[in-house]
Amino acid sequence: MKLFPYAHATHPQWRMAAALVLAQLRAQMALPDFAASPSLAVLYITDHYAEEAPAILEHLSAELPEVTDWAGTVGVGVAANNVEYFDEPALCVMLCDLAPHQYRVFSGVAPLSASGRATGGEGFVAHTALVHADGATPELAELIAEMADRTRSGYVFGGLALSRGRSVQFSMGSAGHLGGQGAASGVFHGGLSGVAFGPDVGLVSRVTQGAQPVDQERTVTASDGNLVLMLDDEPALDVLLRERDISLDQPERAMPRLRATLVGLTPPSPSGEDALRVPRMRGQFGAEVLVRHLIGLDPGRRGVAIADMAPVGTRLTFCERNVQAARADLVRVCAEVREELEPEEVSLAVATSLAANDVDARPHPARRIAGAIYVSCSGRGGLHFGSPSAELQTVRRALGDVPLVGFFAGGEIAHHQLYGYTGVLTVFTMP
């Protein structure tokens, strides 16, 4: 395995952006440390190009005939190493140096079976998968969990397509499509698609949270669907108003605070574990916490409506978006990945190369990262981290100079769940 060629560009005309991307890819494919003839491509476009998605895929696949399999989707922004293109016309591509028997592209017309095999994938069993999904798909959370169950690891990663126009996904595999079901263009609308990876593909994935607790953790002791009625046997609305210092008699002051308040949910623990847990106080969420919106108040029942189900036993913490906490957690997960992969000792020449300044630095095999995919919440993009591209610059400083692409999503997928306000960083490791 060699480094994955990757490229990114912005231009009002997609053909000009594609030409810039192709020039970068071909230049990298000519370098000794980069793959010369990879067969799998990951393609992300911003929604400015969504109407031209079929033409973009047709053009790129014709210009890169060695690439036989394509996967990807659309976002309100796309990301690459050290830069993001948010709310502007752009695209990015990464070519993965994986043998055809190590992966399978799947979609609605070439699905991944319950045994983890894709159409035409006899002998292949999925260990994990990159998943792209349409947020309007019915019972999406259940479909994501079902997809995770079709992998040996039970872990999938990716995100929801996000577009102010057409919501598209790319999925074109060398194994072909199911006969008579069309969609031969490789551009799809609705459902799930992506790439399943076999056990020989090395992957390390982490979730970084973007919200911080502002109150202690409590247990849901009464609920009705997505309406939380009681927290620790106290009316949930009373807890919210008291702890967030909100008065419904002052709506001008109450509404901004309510809009800024989110909830962090942790599923009920297995029987017997609740007695051992320590209540969560102000600090940092772990990957087990799902952040959701408040969607309403019920003064009559003294309840709080949230954008998810909260069965009795769910642990709930009021929280809010926090830039400093999000940046610190992003640095933490990048450092964990580096610590897991980088050798303790390297030669002087390699150490000098890895320590080069930003101008001279280049992706290096010694990092053992062939490529990376970063899916971030659309609420984290743009100026949320302080300046344009600040989030991706944080990743670059913390992870090092590695081939990386990604997109800004309408929801992030990791483990077997759908997250919000998070970033999902996944790296392909070199042997």
Tokens of 394: 């944080």
Residue segments in the chain with a per-residue pLDDT below the cut of 70? 114-122, 175-184, 269-284, 343-362
Q: CA dihedral defined by 228, 234, 240, 241, rounded to 10 degrees?
A: 130
CA gap 238, 251 in Å, rounded: 16
Q: What is the pTM of this model?
A: 0.88
Given a contact cutoff of 8 angstroms between Cβ atoms, the answer to whether 292 and 262 are in contact is: yes
The predicted pLDDT at position 70 comes to 96
Q: What is the DSSP string of 9-65?
A: EE-SSHHHHHHHHHHHHHHHHTSTTB-SS--EEEEEEEGGGGGGHHHHHHHHHHH-T
Measured CA angle at 405 (ends 353, 175), to 5 deg = 115
The bridge status of strand 211-213 relative to strand 262-266 is unpaired
150 and 113 in contact (C-beta within 8 Å)? yes
Rounded Cα gap, residues 213 and 162, in angstroms: 27
Amino acid type, 139: E
Judge whether 76 and 162 are in contact, CB under 8 Å.
yes
CA dist., res. 105 & res. 125, Å (int): 12
Report the largest interatomic distance among the alpha carbons of the chain, rounded to a whole angstrom. 70
CB 303 within 8 A of CB 224: yes
Contact 57, 185 (CB under 8 A): yes
Compute the residue count for the chain: 431
Structure tokens at 379: 């609420």
Q: How confident is the model over 177-217, as pLDDT tens digits?
A: 443 334 457 898 889 999 999 999 999 999 999 888 998 99
**Amino acid 122: pLDDT:** 61
User: HSE of 198 in the Cβ direction (CA atoms, 13 Å)?
Assistant: 15
Cα distance between residue 377 and residue 295, in whole Å: 19
Which contiguous run of DSSP H or E holds residue 399? helix 390-399
pLDDT of residue 227: 96
3-state secondary structure of 225: coil
Give the angle 349-353-356 at the CA atoms, nearest 5°.
Answer: 140
Question: So what's the pLDDT on residue 177?
Answer: 43
Amino acid sitting at position 274: D
Q: How far out from the chain centre does Cα 226 lie?
A: 25
* Nearest Cα to Cα of residue 73 among 149, 171, 202, 182: 171
Helix, strand and coil percent figures for the chain, each rounded to 5: 25, 35, 40
Burial of 12 (0-12, 13-18, 19+ CB in 10 A): exposed
d(CA 179, CA 10): 37
SS3 state of residue 142: helix
132 and 191 in contact (C-beta within 8 Å)?
no
Question: According to the model, what pLDDT value does residue 246 have?
Answer: 92
What pLDDT does residue 174 have?
77
Q: What is the DSSP letter of 379?
A: G
Residue 377 CA to chain centroid, in angstroms? 7
Q: Rounded to whole angstroms, how far apart are CA atoms 362 and 170?
A: 29
Q: Contact 208/329 with Cβ under 8 angstroms? A: yes
Tokens for 378, please give them.
């659309």
User: How far apart are alpha carbons 147 and 192 in whole angstroms?
Assistant: 9
**Closest among 404, 370, 363 to 93, alpha carbons compared:** 404
Cα separation, 54 vs 296, whole angstroms: 40
AA identity, residue 177? H
* Distance (Å, whole) CA 343 – CA 332: 18
